Each structure stands twice: as C-alpha cells, then as structure tokens.
Amino acid sequence: MATWFDEARLDDAGVLETVDLRLRTLAESGARVRREAHEAAAATAELIAQGRDGERPRAVIAAGPDSRLLRAVLEPWCPVPFVAWPNPGLPGWAGSLDLVVMLAPEGNDHGSASAVAEAVRRGCQVVVACPERSLVGEHAAGRHVTVLPTATGDQLATAVVMLDYLAHVHLGPRADAESVAESLDEVATDCSPHRDLAVNPAKMLAIAMADTNPLVWGGSVLAARAARRLAESLRRTSGRSAIAGDAEHLLPVIEATKPHDVFADPFAEEPADLRPLLLILDDRSDDPVVREQTGELRAAAARHGVRVETLDTDADAEVARYASLLLAGTYAAEYLRVGLVED
C-alpha cells in the first residue's frame, strides 16, 4: 500500500480537528511548566530554608530513566562530580555524603521507586520530583528526603522544577521556569494549527520531510539530546527510520547517498527509496567544534544532493533553547503524521 503526503490536509480544519487533542497537549507545554513551578515552590523554599543548601555533597547522582536530560544540563556546569545513572539501583559507592536527584513525572516506575528506597537505606540526601501520591512518592520517606510535588506528568516541566532547586543550591545553572514557559508559548503560537502553512514553520518543515528519512543532528549537548527525542517522535509519527547521532555517525549515511536520478518516473507504481534529509537543530552554540562539524555536515550534504533544513531558536536561556527546539520539532512531527495518507 503506497503512502503519500497531502499538504492540503495541514490547513484542513476538519482533518486538524481529529488531532486536536495531540496539538492541544503541545500548546499547553508552557502552562504545564508554570503549574509545576508553582506546585513545587513551597517545597523548594522549605528545603532551602533548612540550610541544606550550604552543604555541598561529595557527588550528585541523577537516578532513573529521565537522568539523561539532567546530565545534558548539569554535566558541563556542576562543581562536584556528577553521574547520570539510568540503570536500576545506584552506583555501589553512593552513600551519605552524596546527593541523589530523580525525575519521576508519572511516579509509577518500579525501578525508580526501588532506586529511591535504596538511596534512603544508604542515608543519601535525596530530592525527588514526583507526584506525592505515587509509587515513587511512597518510597521517598526518610529524614534526608525531600519530595518536590508534581502533577502534570510532563518530563520537561518536572526537570525545570528540579533544575530550579539545584540552581538555588549552586549545583547547576539557573533554569527560570517563566522564561522556559514563555519560549514554549512562542513556539505554540508560531506553530499553531490555525496558522496556515505559508507562515507556519512546523508545517513547512513537515512538508520538507514528507518524502525523506530525516537525519537529526544537534551539536551541543542539549541540542543533541533534543535531536534524539525528536528522532523518536518522527519514528513514532511516520513509521520511518529517522535517526539522530553524532556527526561522525551521520556523515557515512550522507556520503552513501546515491545521486538523485533526474530521469526517475515520479508516477511509477514502485516508489523510489526515500532520500535522507539533514535536519540541524541550531541552539546558537559558539563552540568551535560545533561550528566545524556543522560545516562538515553541510558540505557532505551539498556534495551528495542531500537537502538540509535548519531548526533554530531565539530563546536566551540554555534550557529554554532546548525546550523551544524540541517543541517546534515535535509540532513538525505531528504535522507529518497529519499529511501522510495511504492509498
């Protein structure tokens, strides 16, 4: 069964109404960040008032499956050794001198609950962002444990709550919830289904990806994390083999691309293989290595006739740039889902 892309569906009110729930969920991203920041404000203030912000831990361990996002933000900044531990349990050396932080947006993961219980047993200082009435919340009970209450189940909003606490105790960069929320609101406005495709960057990106297998690349640590998350969304919405990776992993794919056959029959019953498209997530990193790798990827794409699209952001803060890129890309992935139809 052939699949083709109908861009007219992206401005069809009847079609867009069928995906209203998914698009509305994206549009409410900024509101969820504000809600979580408000919910956790009292617990954060109480934790800081206890004076524990003056006690610098020997190391910080980000535990649980969502630890990689914290690592992307904190690893270049944290003044003490930092470890992301997405595996079950904790490192064998973790003890009473260490701080264990965990994001558990849903709060019902048995592995996360087990890790929290182990941290309590070892006497670690523990800060968990999770719903209070949840499996993880039930295990987060102890003298040195603080729960930052969450309610939305949103990973990014939960991460902002944790990062706000870590910034207050001088273990991470400032992650202002309002600035993140404003950036998300701007993306939601620009990518709204009510804006037609002529002025909608997410719809235009979906059209660009319509007949391709996207290769998603971000040069900085956070942009690379956003690229991996976006590739997951593209695989889910299109069923295609969208991939994200380091420059050295994507270059062989680009260089193996065959020249485009200008004589190919566009109406052939057997469609040609989908060509790659290089999607660069630009978070305005001024790292010379990032600039060099961007140039290498663009040059390789030009040599092999691979189309290049760039997704950029005007957000000021690091976490806000990550959030903005990820949300804009996720909108494009949803519009790609809308436009793809089967004969």
Here the CATH number for the domain that contains residue 152 is 3.40.50.10490
Same domain (yes/no): 210, 330: yes
| pLDDT for res 51 | 60
Same domain (yes/no): 134, 230: no
Query: What is the count of structural domains for the chain?
Result: 2
- What whole-number distance in Å separates Cα of residue 138 and Cα of residue 160? 22
Separation in Å, CA 343 to CA 3, 12, 16: 6, 19, 20
Cβ neighbours of 190 (radius 10 Å): 16
Same domain (yes/no): 133, 227: no
Same domain (yes/no): 103, 223: no
**89 occurs within a structural domain:** yes
Classify residue 260 as left (phi > 0), alpha (psi -120 to 50) or beta. beta
**135 occurs within a structural domain:** yes
| pLDDT for res 46 | 79
Same domain (yes/no): 75, 160: yes
* Domain hosting residue 338, numbered range: 3-27+180-342
**34 occurs within a structural domain:** no
**39 occurs within a structural domain:** no
Same domain (yes/no): 13, 86: no
Q: Give mean pLDDT in consecutive 10-residue pieces for the chain, a chain of 343 residues.
A: 86 94 96 93 79 75 89 89 89 93 91 92 93 90 86 93 90 90 97 94 97 95 95 95 95 90 56 85 93 97 96 92 97 97 80
In degrees, rounded to 5, the angle at the alpha carbon of residue 265 between the alpha carbons of residues 264 and 270 is: 100
DSSP per-residue string spanning 9-28: GGG-HHHHHHTHHHHHHHHT
How much is the pTM? 0.91
Same domain (yes/no): 184, 323: yes
How many residues are recorded in the chain?
Answer: 343
DSSP per-residue string spanning 146-194: EEEE--S--HHHHHHHHHHHHHHTTSS----HHHHHHHHHHHHHHT-TT
Same domain (yes/no): 218, 322: yes
Same domain (yes/no): 110, 171: yes
| pLDDT for res 47 | 75
| pLDDT for res 307 | 96
- What whole-number distance in Å separates Cα of residue 98 and Cα of residue 116? 13
Same domain (yes/no): 101, 114: yes
Same domain (yes/no): 88, 65: yes
| Helix (H) / strand (E) containing 215 | strand 212-218
Same domain (yes/no): 218, 164: no
End residue of a domain, out of 141, 160, 175: 175
**327 occurs within a structural domain:** yes
